[in-house]
């Protein structure tokens, strides 16, 4: 029972921390709209927050890939995916080189990530399958769906033109779309941090030891009862 209560308490704490984190993500949107004169553009605080989240996630997975040889291929693929999303968000930076040049940088990251994963294909597939079975994956997948599907459909001009009719204001549409994207990236950030933390080598060693200690206690109990 003590273990169950510990688990329940830990999950409640995680839930409350996640709720606080999501509540704080509204702050950059509010600052851009209320204090920065509706400055929801490519260098806005909201966009910058999204980019910082993506950079943090990519760095977490790249560092984990370097420290975990058995998972290196899969973790590099995930890190590369987030890095490509970051490059896409920073397209205005790469446009200074040439318009649309972000695609070539994203392709280079993709090729490098695939090259690392293909060095050990069996280990990469196994580690990727383990990631998909982890409890953090549904949250991460939800974040992907919010960013890649829902926010795109939610930000369609036609929808907002019909909603506001003659009073169409692009800032309102941008706020809704960027706020939705920020929610999706926040879910990905929360899931990624939890996955990397829970699958660290020390945590994995403890989870293996726990089931082994239970049979040992059962085996010694008849002796101590006499």
Tens-place pLDDT, residues 68-85: 999 999 999 999 999 999
Query: pLDDT-derived band of residue 203, with 50, 70 and 90 as boundaries?
Result: low
In a domain, 225, yes or no: no
Taking 70 as the threshold, does the pLDDT of residue 92 lie above it? yes
CB distance 191 to 137 below 8 Å: yes
SS3 readout for the chain: CHHHHHHHHHHHHHHHHHHHHHHHCHHHHHHHHHHCCCCCCCCCHHHHHHHHHHHHHHHHHHHHHHHCHHHHHHHHHHHHHHHHHHHHHCHHHHCCCCCCCHHHHHHHHHHHHHHHHHHCHHHHHHHHHHHHHCCCHHHHHHHHHHHHHHHHHHCCHHHHHHHHHHHCCHHHHHHHHHHHHHHHHHHHHHHHHHHHHHCCHHHHHHHHHHHHHHHHHHHHHHHHHC
Measured between alpha carbons, how far is 92 from 102 in angstroms, rounded to an integer?
A: 9
Listed range (1-15, 38-52, 98-112) with the worst mean pLDDT: 38-52
Q: Which range of residues forms the domain containing residue 114? A: 2-200
In a domain, 81, yes or no: yes
In a domain, 212, yes or no: no
How many CB atoms sit inside 10 A of residue 93's CB?
15
Produce one character per residue of 24-55: b if its CB has 16 or more CB atoms within 10 Å, e if not. ebeebbeebbeeeeeebeeebbbbebbbebbe
Between 218 and 60, whose confidence is greater? 60
In a domain, 210, yes or no: no
Between 168 and 112, whose confidence is greater? 112
In a domain, 23, yes or no: yes
Domain count across the chain = 1
In a domain, 87, yes or no: yes
Percentage, residues of the chain above pLDDT 90: 62
In a domain, 17, yes or no: yes
Q: Give the per-residue pLDDT at 1.
A: 82
Taking 60 as the threshold, does the pLDDT of residue 218 lie above it? no
In a domain, 224, yes or no: no
Q: Give the per-residue pLDDT at 204.
A: 57
């Amino acid at each position: 029972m003590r273990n169950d209560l510990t688990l329940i308490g830990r999950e409640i704490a995680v839930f409350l921390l996640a709720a606080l984190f999501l509540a704080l993500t509204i702050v950059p949107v509010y600052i851009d709209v209320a204090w920065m004169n509706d400055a929801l553009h490519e260098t806005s605080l909201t966009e910058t927050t999204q980019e910082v989240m993506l950079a943090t996630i990519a760095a977490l997975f790249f560092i984990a890939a370097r420290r975990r040889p058995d998972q290196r291929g899969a973790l590099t693929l995930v890190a590369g995916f987030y890095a490509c999303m970051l490059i896409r968000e920073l397209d205005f930076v790469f446009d200074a080189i040439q318009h649309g040049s972000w695609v070539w940088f994203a392709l280079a990251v993709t090729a490098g990530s695939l090259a690392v994963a293909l060095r050990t294909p069996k280990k990469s597939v196994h580690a990727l399958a383990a990631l998909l079975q982890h409890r953090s994956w549904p949250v991460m997948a939800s974040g992907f769906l919010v960013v890649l599907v829902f926010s795109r459909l939610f930000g369609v001009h036609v929808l907002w033109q019909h909603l506001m009719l003659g009073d169409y204001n692009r800032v309102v549409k941008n706020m809704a779309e960027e706020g939705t994207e920020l929610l999706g990236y926040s879910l990905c950030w929360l899931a990624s941090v939890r996955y990397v933390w829970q699958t660290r080598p020390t945590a994995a060693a403890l989870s293996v030891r726990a089931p082994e200690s239970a049979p040992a206690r059962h085996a010694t109990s008849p002796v101590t009862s006499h």
